[in-house]
Chains A and B, each alone.
Chain A
């Protein structure tokens, strides 16, 4: 049994860790107050926002550290 359960539990944990790293990389903790308010907005309830109106940061931040970062 343990041979399955231990990897499963570790895998689930890693999944959570991966999700956390992803949110951190995508700067989802930068404006917690604003995001709490945005989720209640019904602006894009019917259809998703067109690509050019989506926040720029979600697209450009894949490349790791942003230029201008201070050391």
Chain B
């Protein structure tokens, strides 16, 4: 995709010096902490955060970046992000540590600044050359005209050489690969316009196209910059998401515990996994008992039991008790890395998608070259060998047809659309995502974590008596197990207060027990409490020898999910639900939302195969998923969306990330994408229309620099305005 070509030219200067620069960068960043502060969005936040933090010991400077919602703190080396977060919280803001290494790419957007620099130079030259050109168009003759042409040339030639470099480079790269993209006719037009104008100015000719050459550079660079900015903004936000997950593990050594990077783990290491933490590597439990949440990996909504001898995989979340795990696979061998390899294969297939702009360029280049060359040949024959006249005409044809509007047609729309979508909480990661999204006719959803929040919600709390509820609440408060948390929250919402239960303790992997009114009370797994094991997600309470009480849970629906499914069905899209969870849970959700086609118990490869089978039937599939088990399917689909709560790998594999909890913006994404593609087509039609009028004029030799300037600027402005019509 286009992403890969960007660092090729400009970036290489940096590549050469990279090792040295990186060493220095690490040293400079040592005493610097960057925090993401999502809540910093108003002017009042700046003094509040900066003046609140600066007086603290050890802090040299605190600076808020309101555009990126980041806080950068320089300190004397004594602070860690963990020290700062409570201080920021004291000031009333939520802060998350960011991984500086993962961020390094976005902090200094060199390619972007380089483009702006070239754009600025082109703008200066365009304005000055235009000033001189207006005098010539208004009738300045003879010596004045020639001098003005020469001055224009003195400005335009260095400008074209400097500002046109991105085009020349990419055109040359294209020639070497044997493919003529849009940049080849652009470069040709720039070179031809400049050289012919030099010749004409020295020979007292009437027409010099310096203004056209510079203007062309400016408008095309503008399009290039917009394109870059959209991608850079998405990339920076995506990197920020990745930087939020600082990959650390606690390794147990003979001397005690140490915190290490996950990449430093080796097979045979002992690691400690605290309750609530994610398992950093594949391994086998050697000590401890707990329950683990596998939903991100397999889509199962029920926690699984983990005890000595059980196998755990990277990405699972430890719920109740501390575990000691012996690493059996790390780095490249881990299940996470294997999944990533699966994704890479599917990505490869998707990158072969040809964008609208590519297709336009493919049709455009040969056409323009043929036109220009035939014009040259015709006039050579007509004027019996007047090379100067013939070249002038063929250059004018090239300049007039030059794709100012074509170069802006797509980037302007993409910029407008991604701005609109960002406001709705959607982040576009790929430039062609909108075009692919517009074609979608089939949507495949994942269940756990996508249509549901992946968090349980107690059912029918009202059906239980207040006494057992308040006992259960007291017990539940002693645990961080998701079912316990949900139960405690549900009871609190009903206005209940916890019963006075004493000696509450958690039995990892089983539940919580305590003493209430001299009776032993237990809340937890049915078999531990002494009740029959049911089919649904549930926890059981037993007070002394009384009948056990079962609290059933269902996965809470993600806000907006119901509305989204209804709206998509109404639009006539084919909907599918594919989950790794057990059949009853999937069937229940499919029934509740009205999704006719559902599959349960699907393994990651089966999900990918499901999507592939749909694609083979000619369906254009949008995949919405969040788990590691979805990544292959996400990459396999034509276009994919994942919520921000998704695992890193899933977000990396998808084209669009939904930042909020609410999933309804997916519908907006589809609507805006269709509208955007319509605008792009209109823009192509518009620029073609200009050419239909101006090309014949150029071919018969009536084109003047004034006409070229008019056609170019008017078409560029129309195309940009049309892009802004997006709602």
A and B: partners? Answer: yes
A residues neighboring B (CB under 8 Å):
2, 6, 9-10, 13-14, 16-17, 20-21, 24, 29-34, 36-38, 40-41, 43, 53, 55-56, 65-71
Chain B residues, Cβ within 8 Å of A67: 21, 24-25, 28
Tell me which of A10, A20, A21, A30 contacts B128 (CB under 8 A). A10
Residue in chain B with minimal CB distance to A15: B124
Chain B residues, Cβ within 8 Å of A34: 46, 64-67
- B354 on interface, CB distance cutoff 8 Å: no
B residues neighboring A (CB under 8 Å):
7, 11-18, 21-22, 24-26, 28-29, 42-43, 46-47, 51, 54, 61, 63-68, 74, 104-105, 107-108, 110, 113, 116-117, 120-121, 124, 127-128, 131-132, 144, 147, 151, 155
Contact A70 B46 (CB under 8 A): no
Other than the given A21-B117, A70-B108, A71-B13, 11 more pairs (CB < 8 A) read A10-B128, A10-B155, A17-B121, A29-B116, A34-B66, A43-B47, A56-B61, A68-B22, A69-B14, A70-B11, A70-B14
CA distance A14 to B295 in the complex (A): 61
Chain A residues, Cβ within 8 Å of B121: 17
CA distance A36 to B40 in the complex (A): 14
Contact A31 B67 (CB under 8 A): yes
Residue in chain B with minimal CB distance to A2: B144
Chain A residues, Cβ within 8 Å of B42: 37
Contact A17 B120 (CB under 8 A): yes
Q: How far is the CB of B71 from chain A (nearest CB, A)?
A: 11
Say whether, besides A33-B66, A37-B66, A55-B63, A71 and B116 are in contact (CB < 8 Å): no
Interface centre among B12, B51, B131 (most CB of A within 10 A): B131
Chain A residues, Cβ within 8 Å of B66: 31, 33-34, 37
A-B Cβ contacts below 8 A, count: 98
Contact B74 A40 (CB under 8 A): no
CA distance A21 to B509 in the complex (A): 63
Say whether, besides A33-B66, A67-B28, A68-B29, A17 and B13 are in contact (CB < 8 Å): no
Chain A residues, Cβ within 8 Å of B74: 56
CA distance A8 to B22 in the complex (A): 45
Contact B46 A66 (CB under 8 A): no
Chain B residues, Cβ within 8 Å of A38: 43, 46
Say whether, besides A24-B117, A37-B66, A71-B12, A9 and B128 are in contact (CB < 8 Å): yes
Chain A residues, Cβ within 8 Å of B151: 6, 10
Q: How far is the CB of A36 from chain B (nearest CB, A)?
A: 8
10 CB < 8 A contacts A-B:
A14-B124, A24-B116, A34-B46, A34-B66, A37-B46, A41-B43, A55-B63, A68-B26, A68-B28, A69-B21
Chain A residues, Cβ within 8 Å of B120: 17, 20-21, 24
CA distance A68 to B100 in the complex (A): 10
Say whether, besides A37-B43, A68-B104, A69-B108, A16 and B65 are in contact (CB < 8 Å): no
